[in-house]
Chain A
Amino acid sequence: MLRTLLGRAVLTVSSLVAAATAVQLLLWAAPGDPIDLLPNGAELRPQLEAEWGLDQPVWMRVVTNLGRAATGELGTSLSYRPGTPVTEVLAQPALNSFALLIASLVLALAWSAGLAAFTRGRRQHTSRLVRTLSVAPVFLLAHLCIHGLNEVTWSLMEAGTIARPAWFALPGEASAMRTALAVVLLAVGSGALADMHREAEQALISIRRSGFVDAARARGEPTFLLVARHLTLPLASLAAARTGFLLGGLVVVEKVLLINGAGAILWQAALLRDVPVALGITLMAATTVCAARLAADALRVGIDPRLRSQA
């Protein structure tokens, strides 16, 4: 088992290194260099070229930067928060984003498994309804929710029915309402729920038609726990596969719902062309996806004895 896991870990780390290298090459293939983006870049060029290693060949820069990234050093921000280390810029927002990601992933898995248990390939109309509702982009659902919530709350406040809620029209402050909305929208929007429901439904149908479930049923034993245990494997793979998708959605919900997270910072960094920050967040996102894949693999190897015997 350990050998299998070690093999998967090596493959995952190699994938991450390859992804990081590709991103670095994307950066260095662009015309100009990061110094061009600085307002006083021309004056500081000789000093910065030596400091940032821009006078070295591309392969040397890539290797150096990968080595630095491996030790957690992602450079300093150019324009988002000039001079501040990227790790310092991202420390707290990345934790906020991670919490949102985990919460939305758990919610999406729970809903998709629950819906799959309800539909089980039989209620086509329900599946189509879920699909049609879920296909709406996250930003559109957020727009409708915020607009509708504001209108209803405002009319109730005007009528004197309720006092002003703490979350109402205070965009700068942290709000449980906005966070909860972000989690729900991320779990549902842009086809997330529909895709996960479809895959969970297929997995559930396949498990329920298996011989071991028929055998348990013939013996008069309850099949719920048996099916649930076998559903864990496809759900774990599903969660790992959807992590990257949800990370993309995080950028949108954090920006639209004004949540302080790495996604919102990525947007600002991209607007300000702060490449080190954007690059740092991209590497963190890729690391999260690879970690999710590895965790899913570990779970599968832990549960499924056939995978252990392959080693």
Chain B
Amino acid sequence: MSRVAWVLLAVVVCIGLVAPFGDWERAMTVIPTEAGLGPSPGHPLGTDHLGRDVLARLQLATSAFAGPGLLACAVALVLAVPTAAVSAYRGGVLGSATRFAFTSLAAIPRFVLVLLVLSIYGDSPTTLALAVGASYVPLLGEAVYERIERLRGEEYVLASQAHGLAGGRILWVHLVWFACGRLIGRHLLALFGFYLVLETTLSYIGGFGVQEPHPSWGNMLVFEWGRRSLVDPGLLAPGIALWATLALTDWASESLGEVEHG
């Protein structure tokens, strides 16, 4: 189950990364004569009320979250892991100060912080990705800090130190890579899911995020609002795609937890 989840998630992300380079005429061109069509071989999920192919728009919409979502993960990884790892390993004043900083920043709800950043710095996808990545730093940092602080006194770490292994190797290979790898992976998957939720929510409510005519699973839902029945595949498709991708993220994340706890 978890392997299937990883493969499908990788497919979604790859589509999203490749999408900006493709030809998406079917997704973007308004054809009034083909408006509101049901599923057919030419349009497997039908067309929207402007005659654009729903499946093509669904595929193109993955570019709204795949690249920026990965950027957010990279930001959180680069800012949180080295800071937390070094300060937890060294301990002392540095450790206490870092932990205090993480706890203090975690007091600001992530969604609220992201909205504040968007109001100050504008709402480009890059700003959103940086804001989401930075807002996740306290959570990821605290998790890594706790793990390394707990492990730094373990016998295998003390034995490695006694054998003269370099501190950097113990920290980055033994503690961060082997002991925290899966924990970090789980958090990054959760962050990717959070970015997807945030991007689609912003696009759904409007004002921020992806705006028409560019597609996002969020604005696709609201664009057909009231024009179709709830059981119409054209209306349900973006919602199902969103729900399924989040479920895949969750299952993939769960698989990392299962292996970690043996």
Q: Does B106 contact A (CB under 8 A)?
A: yes
A248/B207 in contact, CB under 8 A: no
Expressed in whole angstroms, the Cα–Cα distance for A229 and B107 within the complex equals: 28
Asked if A136 meets B243 with Cβ closer than 8 Å, knowing A19-B104, A248-B109, the reply is yes
Q: Number of A residues whose C-beta is below 8 Å from B?
A: 52
Q: Does B78 contact A (CB under 8 A)?
A: no
Q: Are B112 and A285 interface neighbours, CB within 8 A?
A: yes
Determine whether the beta carbon of A270 is less than 8 Å from that of B115. Answer: yes
Q: Which residues of B contact A (CB under 8 A)?
A: 100-101, 103-113, 115-121, 193, 197, 200-201, 204-205, 207-208, 218, 221-222, 225, 229-230, 239, 242-243, 246-247, 249-250, 254
A116 contacts partner chain B, Cβ-Cβ < 8 Å = no
A132 to B253, CA, bound (A): 13
Instruction: Knowing A139-B218, A143-B204, say if A275 contacts B119 (CB, 8 Å).
Output: yes
Residues of A within 8 A of B112 (CB): 247-248, 251, 266, 281-282, 285
Residues on A with C-beta less than 8 A from B116 are: 23, 26, 270, 278-279, 282
**Distance of A59 from chain B, by nearest CB (Å):** 18
List residues of chain A with CB within 8 A of the CB of B107. 15-16, 19, 244, 286, 289-290, 293
Whether the pair A135, B243 counts as a contact (CB closer than 8 A) is: yes
Does A249 make an interface contact (CB < 8 A)?
yes
Query: What A residues does B111 contact at CB under 8 A?
Result: 247-249, 251-252
Known: A136-B243, A267-B205. A245 touches B119 (CB 8 A): no
Per a CB cutoff under 8 Å, which of B109, B118, B208, B249 touches A247?
A: B109
Given contacts A18-B101, A18-B104, A252-B201, contact A132 B109 (CB under 8 A): no
Residues of A within 8 A of B (CB): 14-16, 18-19, 22-23, 26-27, 30, 131-132, 135-140, 143-144, 147-148, 151, 190-191, 194, 244-245, 247-249, 251-252, 255-256, 266-267, 269-271, 273-275, 278-279, 281-282, 285-286, 289-290, 293
Asked if B117 contacts A26 (CB within 8 A), the reply is yes
Residues of A within 8 A of B225 (CB): 143, 147
19 A-B pairs within 8 Å (CB atoms) are namely: A16-B107, A26-B116, A135-B249, A136-B243, A139-B201, A140-B200, A151-B230, A244-B106, A247-B109, A248-B109, A251-B112, A267-B205, A269-B119, A270-B118, A273-B119, A279-B116, A281-B112, A289-B106, A290-B107
Whether B239 contacts A140 by the Cβ 8 Å rule is yes
Interchain residue pairs A-B with the least CB separation, the first 3 = A248-B111, A18-B104, A270-B119
Q: Is the CB of A26 within 8 A of B120?
A: yes
- Are A135 and B120 in contact, with the CB atoms below 8 A? no
The answer for the CA separation of A267 and B218 in the assembled complex, in Å, is: 16
Partner among B120, B197, B239 whose Cβ is within 8 Å of the Cβ of A27: B120
Q: Determine if B120 and A30 form an interchain contact, defined as CB atoms under 8 angstroms apart.
A: yes
Contacts A15-B100, A282-B112 given; 14 further ones with Cβ under 8 A?
Answer: A16-B107, A26-B117, A136-B243, A139-B201, A143-B225, A244-B110, A248-B110, A252-B111, A267-B115, A267-B207, A271-B207, A278-B115, A278-B120, A285-B109
